Amino acid sequence: MRTIKLIKNFEFQEKNRERITLGPNVRLVANEHKVQLKDTNGVYPIDPDLYVKTWVANPINVKQWLLFESVIAHWYDDDGSPITSDGYRLGDGTDEYWWDGGDWVINNTSWNTEQEICDNINTFPVSSLKLQVIVNLVTTDSEYTPVLYSVKVLYSSSIEFKEDLIYRSLIPALKEGIRPIADYPVKLSADSDTIDLKNDFPLRTPYNVVEIDSVFDNNSDPNHLLDLYSSYDYNAQVITMTTTLSAGTVVWIKLIYEPEVAITTKRTYNEIGKVPVLVISDYNNISSKEGQGSETVMNKATGVGTKVHAPLMLDIEFVLRCLTDKARDQVRLTDMVKSYFRRNPVLWSKGLDEPYRLWLIDEIDHQNPLGESEIDSARLRFRIANALFYNRGDEVAYAVKRFVVQGPPNLIV
């Protein structure tokens, strides 16, 4: 299996505040991007189990966790003895784990050293594809606090960047984020308080129904003011109403559906297998720039680690076509698409577990494709900004263990 090495960086910055869990007497210092113990009138707590938890990372292409490094600052007394210290556990979002010297065991009271985590994280299970780091901040002197800036984890991944961006991230995001409503009137042939969409009234348009919005008696309530919907059995596809309606009643059902999302590079659509559908087409790289520098994760005991070079950053533009077989569906679908993009959505790369910004470039333009007079069509353009492609590889990195400054005799520094 072909894999690459990537780094998950848990940074304690203001933008991540909502995802970080701060334990009692621990604070995030927003303007300095760090976590430390909370002082009260300049006095720091000396409790032993104060902690901060990172968010739960979920890069779904992870194959193995490899290295661990904490970027943390400590205080020492005049004799070089530590005043502050730190401890660590790993989690998967459900349980917390401690290395007992031979295995990872569920334990939420004991703490490992940074080196113990680094030396053994390569055996931490990846079956859940999730990783959380719990950090213990400790001081023995109420005048001092440890200062934590970030936690970094090196891991191997089987990610294919274009596939992850489009098929694993973008298409599911559009399916989950766009939920149009469709009208479906039916005429009852007998008195009933249920409507069987599977056997008695099969959908003429193959909507992927995810929810029933409302049900109305169109005969006595043409303005649709009194909602008669009670429940929906998704397996049997049966709607239950709050009252029994007589034979001959036109029941007006409003369905919430998940649109099909397809991708093609063709400019015309001569055969459309299923509508309503969102078709992604004509995607192009608009701009690119090479990231500068690199990032490393070090084994502090050996002084050897891995350097991952900065990624290529791409802006990718897409054309999105909205195809339906009904004019009313077209209006509602395009309204939902516009609403989705106007909310400034964030697209999460599932392979990297990192956010990208979606930008709407052109508003909806209504047009019918050639040869499809019965299909209503509209199109818009949108862009994914700063998508990351780590295609520059990695290399072995070595820590600086000693820094010597030499000068002439009697030099005063």
Its sign, for the CA torsion 272, 277, 283, 286, is: positive
Q: Are strands 277-290 and 260-263 parallel, antiparallel or unpaired?
A: parallel
Q: Is the pTM of this model over 0.75?
A: yes
CATH class of 161-177+260-396: alpha beta
**Whether pLDDT at 271 is above 50:** no
Q: Which residue has the tokens 């989690």?
A: 91
Confidence of residue 413 (pLDDT cuts 50, 70, 90): very low
**How many residues does this entry show for the chain?**
413
Those residues with Cβ within 8 angstroms of residue 366's Cβ, 6 or more apart along the chain or in another chain: 330, 334, 376, 377, 378
Report the range of poorest mean pLDDT among 79-83, 112-116, 204-208, 368-372. Answer: 368-372
- Mean pLDDT score of the chain, rounded to an integer? 91
Confidence of residue 272 (pLDDT cuts 50, 70, 90): low
pLDDT of amino acid 308: 97
pLDDT of amino acid 1: 80
Burial-class residue 285 by CB neighbours within 10 Å (0-12, 13-18, 19+): exposed
* H or E stretch at 309: strand 304-309
Q: What is the DSSP letter of 17?
A: G
User: For 311-337, what is the mean pLDDT?
Assistant: 92
**Whether pLDDT at 363 is above 80:** no
Structural contact between residues 67 and 305, judged by C-beta atoms closer than 8 angstroms: yes
Structural contact between residues 296 and 309, judged by C-beta atoms closer than 8 angstroms: no
pLDDT of amino acid 283: 85
pLDDT of amino acid 264: 79
Confidence of residue 404 (pLDDT cuts 50, 70, 90): low
Per-residue pLDDT of 141-189, as tens digits, reads 999 999 999 999 999 999 999 999 999 999 999 999 999 999 999 999 9
Q: How far apart, in Å, are the Cα atoms of 97 and each of 1, 44, 361?
A: 28, 28, 46
pLDDT of amino acid 401: 67
**Whether pLDDT at 370 is above 80:** no
Confidence of residue 270 (pLDDT cuts 50, 70, 90): very low
**Whether pLDDT at 304 is above 60:** yes
User: For 47-51, what is the mean pLDDT?
Assistant: 96
Tell me the domain boundaries of the chain: 4-157, 161-177+260-396, 181-258
CATH class of 4-157: mainly beta
